[in-house]
Each structure stands twice: as structure tokens, then as C-alpha cells.
């Protein structure tokens, strides 16, 4: 009822755009869609963990800018290309994780709503990025680094394979580990998890650190693809990431969602944006349509949840009737 429905909607959308926009189904355009989806998928992977525990992270776009300019400074410092690139990746990931640690710790330690904490981090990270670079864009990265950003593997952008790997790892963590089960349980009923003896605060801080790591990797991806690191990048990216997770079937109250659904949600948004662009729809109209799709997804999820609850009650009543018989 979750991922299957989103998958069907995605296939229908692809079929419609293939019919009305002749250039949509070309190899070059499909490659372009995969490239465009990559960044939002990476951000949405981290956002999924946060939303599953009932939180929200509005700082991912600004933190991505901060991680990018810090890593960009490393890349432009010279030295061995392989060592410099590896150090830049570690610095970007570390910057994102540090910001995520602050978000999670402040929110959990002083019981401040994550909406407020991450809104504050949004401003701090954006200001820090502007101050660090004096509002200038960094460029002139090592050629090998930028070549990787435009390379393909089996006809698919190499960066998209990294995004798929992040989705796979996230899926395994959520479905095959105790930590993943605790993430779902905390989103469903945090007090019950706490009373059972688990340290819910540690898990909630950890999900923000995971989200920060995903942001750091996304920052390196952006730099490899466009060969720049600007302190103003990432504006509005947090909303796209949240939209992908919500369209993927996650509940903003926590406890429900999946990595597969998140991937499908990101793909649906990417296909929708690309298809509307090829049809000549203006940017303002695309925003209206995308917003409407998000609202419809939330409404459908509401009724899907009610149907699932009704089916569970019916099964429970049927089982009770059989037991009494």
C-alpha cells in the first residue's frame, strides 16, 4: 500500500511525459534526470531518519553550503589530488555531522522543538559560510575531482550510484539493526521505549548526526558536479528533501516511512520537474503543481493509514472470532 502505490504513480507519470514530451524518454534526458535526482536523494536519506523519530531538519541546505565551502578550501589548498580529495570528503562529512550533533543535542537536552533548533542552525550555518569565504565562490578544483562528477558507470551517472548506495545502507540500518527498530519505535511511542530501558535521547541525537553526514556527502557531490563551492547554495533544498520523504509515505509525526519510499518520492519529484520543464511549463507554475502534489500525497497517506488501521481491526476481529469458535 505504500511503496507499491508510489511506484505505480511514478510509472504512470513517466508514461504520460513520454507521450506528451518526445524528448523525455531519450537517453540524454534520463541521464539528466538521474543527475538531478542525486542530490535530493542524498539529503532525503538523512531526512528520513530525522522524520522517523518525529523531528524535522530545516538546516540541511545551509549546512550543505557550509560543508561545501570548508571542503572547497581544502580542495584549493594544493597537494596530492587523492589525499586532498579524501581530506575534503572527511572535512565535509565532519562539518555536517558536527552541525547535526548540535541540532540533536540542543533539541534533546533542553527539549526545544527541532523546528526551532534547526531554524537557528540554518541562520548560523549560512552566516558562517558567508563569513568563511567573505561571500565569495570557490572554484579551480583538481581536474580528477571534477571529472568524477561528470563520469558515468553503465550509462548511469557515477554520483547517482553513490546515492543508491546511501539508500541501500540506510534501508539495511532501518530494517536489519536494533538501532533501526528503535528509530521506528521512538517515532511511534517514545515514552514506551524509554520505559523499556532504552536511552531514547542517544538515538535521537544520532539520527541528526546521520542526517549531517548525508548533508556532507551531498555537499561534495554538488562540488564535483558543478565545480564550485558557494556560500549561497542549498537555499530551499531542505523543503525538497522533506517533500521527497513525505511523498514517499513517511509520517511527519514519526514512526512510519522507508528508504525505498524516500527514493521513489525523490524520483517522482525529479520526473515531475523535468517533464513539466520539457512541456514548457513556467517555473512559477511548476512550483504550484509540485506543492499540490505534496498536499495530495499527504491526503492520500491519511486515508491509506485509516484503511490500514481498519484492515488490522478486521483481521483482529476475525482472529478473535475463530478463537472463540
Q: What is the pLDDT of residues 6-33, one digit of tens each?
A: 888 899 999 999 999 989 999 999 999 9
**Do the Cβ atoms of 252 and 136 come closer than 8 Å?**
no
- 42-75: pLDDT as tens digits: 999 999 999 999 999 999 999 999 999 999 999 9
> Residue 168, CB half-sphere, CA atoms under 13 Å: how many?
6
Q: For position 123, what pLDDT does the model report?
A: 97
Do 56 and 178 form a contact (C-beta atoms < 8 A)?
no
Q: Which residue's C-alpha cell is 572535512? A: 91
What pLDDT, on a 0 to 100 scale, did the predictor assign at position 323? Answer: 59
Q: How confident is the model at residue 321, as a pLDDT? A: 57
Judge if pTM exceeds 0.85: yes
The per-residue pLDDT for range 146-158, each reduced to its tens digit, is 899 999 998 899 9
Could you tell me if 278 and 270 are in contact, meaning their C-beta atoms sit under 8 angstroms apart? no
Nearest 5 degrees, angle CA 224-CA 228-CA 233? 100
pLDDT for res 155: 87
The full DSSP string for 164-207 is: HHHHHHHHHHHHHSHHHHHHHHHHHHHHHHHHTT--HHHHHHHH
Please list, in sequence order, all residues whose beta carbon lies within 8 angstroms of the beta carbon of residue 265, skipping any fewer than 6 positions away.
6, 44, 243, 244, 245, 246, 247, 248, 249, 297
pLDDT at 303: 77
Residues of the chain with pLDDT under 50: none
Amino acid at each position: 500500500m505504500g511503496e507499491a502505490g508510489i511506484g505505480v504513480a511514478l510509472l504512470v507519470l513517466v508514461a504520460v511525459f513520454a507521450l506528451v514530451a518526445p524528448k523525455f524518454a531519450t537517453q540524454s534526458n534520463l541521464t539528466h534526470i538521474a543527475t538531478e535526482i542525486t542530490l535530493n536523494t542524498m539529503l532525503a536519506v538523512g531526512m528520513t531518519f530525522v522524520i522517523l523519530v518525529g523531528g524535522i531538519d530545516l538546516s540541511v541546505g545551509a549546512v550543505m553550503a557550509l560543508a561545501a565551502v570548508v571542503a572547497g578550501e581544502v580542495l584549493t589548498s594544493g597537494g596530492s589530488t587523492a589525499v586532498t580529495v579524501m581530506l575534503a570528503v572527511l572535512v565535509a562529512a565532519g562539518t555536517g555531522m558536527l552541525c547535526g550533533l548540535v541540532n540533536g543535542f540542543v533539541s534533546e537536552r533542553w527539549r526545544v522543538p527541532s523546528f526551532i533548533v534547526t531554524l537557528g542552525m540554518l541562520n548560523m550555518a549560512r552566516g558562517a559560510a558567508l563569513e568563511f569565504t567573505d561571500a565569495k565562490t570557490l572554484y579551480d578544483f583538481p581536474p580528477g575531482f571534477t571529472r568524477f562528477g561528470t563520469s558515468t558507470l553503465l550509462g548511469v551517472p557515477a554520483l547517482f550510484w553513490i546515492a543508491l548506495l546511501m539508500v541501500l545502507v540506510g534501508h539495511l540500518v532501518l530494517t536489519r539493526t536494533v538501532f533501526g527498530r528503535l528509530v521506528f519505535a521512538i517515532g511511534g511511542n517514545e515514552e514506551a521505549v524509554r520505559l523499556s530501558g532504552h536511552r531514547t535521547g542517544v538515538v535521537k541525537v544520532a539520527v541528526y548526526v546521520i542526517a549531517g553526514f548525508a548533508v556532507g556527502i551531498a555537499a561534495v557531490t554538488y562540488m564535483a558536479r558543478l565545480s564550485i563551492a558557494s556560500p549561497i547554495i542549498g537555499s530551499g533544498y531542505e523543503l525538497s528533501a522533506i517533500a521527497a520523504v513525505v511523498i514517499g509515505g513517511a509520517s511527519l509525526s514519526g514512526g512510519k516511512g522507508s528508504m525505498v519510499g524516500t527514493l521513489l518520492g525523490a524520483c517522482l519529484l525529479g520526473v515531475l520537474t523535468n517533464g513539466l520543464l520539457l512541456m514548457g511549463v513556467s517555473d512559477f507554475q511548476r512550483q504550484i503543481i509540485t506543492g499540490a502534489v505534496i498536499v495530495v500525497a499527504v491526503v492520500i497517506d491519511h486515508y491509506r493509514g485509516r484503511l490500514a488501521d481498519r484492515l488490522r481491526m478486521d483481521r483482529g476481529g476475525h482472529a478473535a472470532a475463530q478463537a472463540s469458535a
